[in-house]
Amino acid sequence: MALQSLDIVRRSATTLPSPEVRGAHTGQVAKLIDTTKCIGCKACQVACMEWNDLRDEIGTCTGHYENPADLSEHSWTLMRFAEYENPKGDLEWLIRKDGCMHCEDPGCLKACCGYCIAGCPFDIPRISKKDKKAYKCTLCSDRVAVGLEPACVKSCPTGAIVFGSKQDMTEHAQERIEDLKSRGFDQAGLYDPAGVGGTHVMYVLHHADQPRLYSGLPEKPRISPTVGLWKGATKPLALFAIVATAAIGFLHYIGIGPNETDEQDEEGARLEREKTS
């Protein structure tokens, strides 16, 4: 496993390339979450709290199993529970561990600074009310850098969360999908959405054709075209136009020159004044 995970791959607020010589030749990492194996025990939530020293407020019961009710600056991962009545009339309990998907093409990074929330296609980052800074899952980069798996992976009692190279995780997912298909889930599949360049947190879903069933997992997530336009074409075009406007002014001054009031104009004014008074 590559240990250079703390090398910065991409940064916001710069147009210059990041150091790129060292690549992940042994494969990029990925976390695979098998929703079909998840029992909703929330051990991953607890492990995340422990490792990252996070303590969310003790909330109130909102009538379902989700607790806390939403991701927050203190809760970087959250089990979401959805009840789905399948066409056969059976109830399926679809449990999904929500959190940062670690997109290959991250909308949050594109929209930085301060607008990561508007950039994220998965609605993940949260801004702290205390320090006004954004927080979300780090994929336990501090653990991964020293060869450990993320805390949530370590804690999972059923092996629903696994961590390794993206290629290994994809292969592992295929085995799981085959198994699920043989058990009657013909639409089982891997969630690794291409619209954001793939993600480094992937799901095995029983109903990969309907990701929305899993507490609104987006079907075809992509960076919003508004954000794309705002952070894409407008930037260089607008700067160019601003510089061009100033340059046209400069050229006009050099080419045509200033508009000066001379003695003739003063004379004209004097004559007109005399005429009227």
32 with 189: CB under 8 angstroms?
no
Q: Which is nearer to other proteins, 20 or 85 (CB)?
A: 20
If binding is defined by CB under 8 A, does position 138 make contact with other proteins? no
Task: Tell which positions 2-31 bind other proteins, by CB under 8 A.
Answer: 12-15
Q: Provide the β-strand partners of residue 65.
A: none
What Rg, from alpha-carbon coordinates, does the chain have? 28
And the tokens for 105?
């093409």
Q: How many residues does the chain have?
A: 277
Among the listed residues 65, 81, 84, 115, the single contact to other proteins using CB under 8 A: 115
254/71 Cα distance (integer angstroms)? 59
Task: Tell which positions 210-229 bind other proteins, by CB under 8 A.
Answer: 224, 226-227, 229
- Using CB under 8 A, count the residues that bind other proteins: 48
> How near is the Cβ of 124 to other proteins at its closest, in Å?
11
> How near is the Cβ of 115 to other proteins at its closest, in Å?
6
Burial of 32 (0-12, 13-18, 19+ CB in 10 A): buried
Q: What is the CA angle 263-269-272, rounded to 5?
A: 140
276 Cβ contact partners less than 8 Å away, ≥ 6 residues apart = none
If binding is defined by CB under 8 A, does position 246 make contact with other proteins? yes
Piece of 21-29, 172-180, 200-208, 232-240 that binds other proteins (CB under 8 A): 232-240
Q: Provide the β-strand partners of residue 93.
A: 83
If binding is defined by CB under 8 A, does position 232 make contact with other proteins? no
Among the listed residues 23, 59, 114, 147, the single contact to other proteins using CB under 8 A: 114
Q: Which residue type is seen at 61?
A: C
94/99 Cα distance (integer angstroms)? 16
Q: Which is nearer to other proteins, 186 or 265 (CB)?
A: 265
Piece of 2-10, 56-64, 186-194, 230-238 that binds other proteins (CB under 8 A): 230-238
If binding is defined by CB under 8 A, does position 123 make contact with other proteins? yes
Among the listed residues 85, 130, 132, 254, the single contact to other proteins using CB under 8 A: 132
99 with 137: CB under 8 angstroms?
yes
Q: Provide the β-strand partners of residue 96.
A: 80
Judged by the rule CB under 8 A, the positions of this chain that interact with other proteins are 12-15, 111, 113-115, 117-118, 123, 127, 132, 224, 226-227, 229-230, 234-235, 238-239, 241-242, 245-246, 249, 252-253, 256-270, 272-273, 276-277
